[in-house]
Structure 1
Amino acid sequence: MVTGWARGAALYEATVRHTRLRPITHRLRHRTFYWLLDIDDPPRPPAWLRPLARFRTRDHITAQGQTLRDSLTEFAAAEGIDLTGCRIRMLAHARAFGHVFNPLTVYWCRHPETGPRCVIAEVHNTYQGRHRYLLTPDARGRAETAKDFYVSPFLPVAGDYRMTLPEPADRLHLAVAYDLDGEPTLVATVTGRRRPAGTRALLAATIRHPFNTLAVTAGIRAHGIALWARGLPVHRREPEREVHSEHTY
């Protein structure tokens, strides 16, 4: 049963897989867990649980003084999409033990009368850069977009993403394929199963994945060193402008 502080939220214990196809083959796999929540009614754990799960606006793209909803609404409006009246659900890691890192945060924007309005994919890199892509997927959750944000030192800011981001239900199954010069170059997938959110579920997930996002960050750096050691060329990064606020929710 979902306890009061986690009403409307869910946990997904998931497996993340990355496969680099060229110019060398490299694979990584790790286990983690995500939260699915309504951005207007996020989980509010009791004080003794907050070290394990805290949700802060500034951990996502917001300008000073903005709420997350205002930030998403402004971004979508600039792309010609009106989010007025939409429910927005977010899949992301929570801040735990003072740390959070979300390589990909997904927002599903759905109007109660007209159905899905859009999907927003928010990408963070390990250099504190943040960027959003606005997508209008087909009925199977598939959409394409040009890559215009630096993510990995081993990939240029060029090429295209093919994303499959259906809204999670009992199962979570996301996929991002990256094509460079028209050739498949990298494929990433996230698969998992829904768990009722609440105190027991959070404690169990934390025991199984005690340093959830720290492990993600450490894994990215370790695999980066491995790729560098194998001689993969490095692409220079241009600094990005980071925007965030001090609000919490």
Structure 2
Amino acid sequence: MTGASALYAGGVVHQRLRPRRHRLEQRVFWLLLDLSGVDGLDRRLKLFSRNRWNLFSFFDSDHGDGSGRPLRAQVEARLAAIGVELGGGAIRLLTMPRVLGYVFNPISVYYCHAADGRLAAISYEVTSTFGERRWYDLAVEAGDGDGLFRQTCAKTLYVSPFMEMEMRYRFRGGAPGDRVGLTVGCDDARGPLLTASLWGERRPLADGALARAAIAYPLMTLKVVAAIHWEAFLLWLKGVPVTLARRPAPASARGAAS
């Protein structure tokens, strides 16, 4: 496990394969936050705060069940339900911070490590523009020797009017190091429909790096939401069918991992 908290500068790409091909690419950055060290970052950094306004900030209530309860306890409880015990190992959250008090995270990723440092589980926290949130809590099993995890689960949250509910997610990535990367494939009954990839290069989480990020990615979180709605409009113009049916979903989902 490389370091603890960090900044990752990179981007995201969404590629839809049918019934009309469509591509979205956007430059963004994330913070990788060791949940046990966020208060220390608050004390050390001038441009970052926990649970109070700043240029960049992290609010516990923006994640988990929204109650502000300790996130580690929430994650550990969900992992216990799938038979994963961390034994005090680190939990690191890859997420976008609030920028000038505003944030929207389509996906945040909890990298959950066992006491010996190995990656034991991933919790994918997905939030929709409709204000709903779900977790896909998946154990990490022994891989193929390439250091990557591969996991699948059923989609349980309505996130887009251009995607059916009866779909499966495929996750592929590795523990954050000098780089971070994650690919999410979305499959329906006909096969692959959409692929979303994120990547970033590690930077030290320091005031200098945060200041440079503010210049390189101005009003980033507002632009993320604007891009989501703009791309939805373009899909509608292309004649991609709209699915408005929604149904209740469980708070978290289980799946298969390798």
**What TM-score results when the alignment is normalised by the length of structure 1?**
0.88
Distance 1:8 1:76, change over 3 A: closer
Show the counterpart of 1:211: 219
Is the partner of 1:54 in helix, strand or coil?
A: strand
AA at the equivalent of 1:225: F
Is the partner of 1:207 in helix, strand or coil?
A: helix
Does residue 1:56 correspond to 2:52, yes or no? no
Show the counterpart of 1:81: 84
Distance 1:106 1:49, change over 3 A: closer
For residues 13-32 of structure 1, the aligned pairs below 5 Å read 13-32=9-28
- Of 66, 70, 94, 1:67 maps to 70
Question: Number of paired residues?
Answer: 237
Please tell me whether the aligned partners of residues 42 and 48 of structure 2 are also in contact (alpha carbons under 8 angstroms).
no
Show the counterpart of 2:181: 173
For residues 1-249 of structure 1, the aligned pairs below 5 Å read 8-42=4-38, 43-44=41-42, 46=45, 49-50=48-49, 51-62=54-65, 64=67, 66-113=69-116, 115-137=118-140, 138=143, 139-238=147-246
Please tell me whether the aligned partners of residues 145 and 160 of structure 1 are also in contact (alpha carbons under 8 angstroms).
yes
Deviates more, 1:96-105 or 1:50-59: 50-59
Show the counterpart of 2:254: none
Deviations 1:214-235 (A, max 9, x none): 1111000000011112221111
Taking the aligned partners of 1:239 and 1:95, their CA distance within structure 2 comes to 30
Taking the aligned partners of 1:240 and 1:39, their CA distance within structure 2 comes to 30
Taking the aligned partners of 2:116 and 2:5, their CA distance within structure 1 comes to 22
Taking the aligned partners of 1:239 and 1:101, their CA distance within structure 2 comes to 23
Is the partner of 1:223 in helix, strand or coil?
A: helix
Deviations 1:191-228 (A, max 9, x none): 22111111000000110101111111100000001111
AA at the equivalent of 1:110: H
Shift of 1:112: 2.4
Please tell me whether the aligned partners of residues 155 and 166 of structure 2 are also in contact (alpha carbons under 8 angstroms).
yes
Is the partner of 2:227 in helix, strand or coil?
A: helix
Please tell me whether the aligned partners of residues 153 and 170 of structure 2 are also in contact (alpha carbons under 8 angstroms).
yes
**What TM-score results when the alignment is normalised by the length of structure 2?**
0.85
Is the partner of 2:57 in helix, strand or coil?
A: coil
Please tell me whether the aligned partners of residues 176 and 188 of structure 1 are also in contact (alpha carbons under 8 angstroms).
yes
AA at the equivalent of 1:194: R
Query: Percent of aligned pairs with the same residue?
Result: 36
Shift of 1:79: 2.0
Taking the aligned partners of 1:226 and 1:191, their CA distance within structure 2 comes to 24
Show the counterpart of 1:247: none
Taking the aligned partners of 2:13 and 2:83, their CA distance within structure 1 comes to 34
Taking the aligned partners of 1:181 and 1:225, their CA distance within structure 2 comes to 25
AA at the equivalent of 1:158: E
Please tell me whether the aligned partners of residues 126 and 133 of structure 2 are also in contact (alpha carbons under 8 angstroms).
yes
Please tell me whether the aligned partners of residues 29 and 213 of structure 2 are also in contact (alpha carbons under 8 angstroms).
yes
AA at the equivalent of 1:80: G
Show the counterpart of 2:256: none
Q: Which has the higher contact order (CA 8 A, sep 6+)?
A: 1
Is the partner of 1:108 in helix, strand or coil?
A: strand
Please tell me whether the aligned partners of residues 129 and 240 of structure 1 are also in contact (alpha carbons under 8 angstroms).
no
Shift of 1:62: 2.6
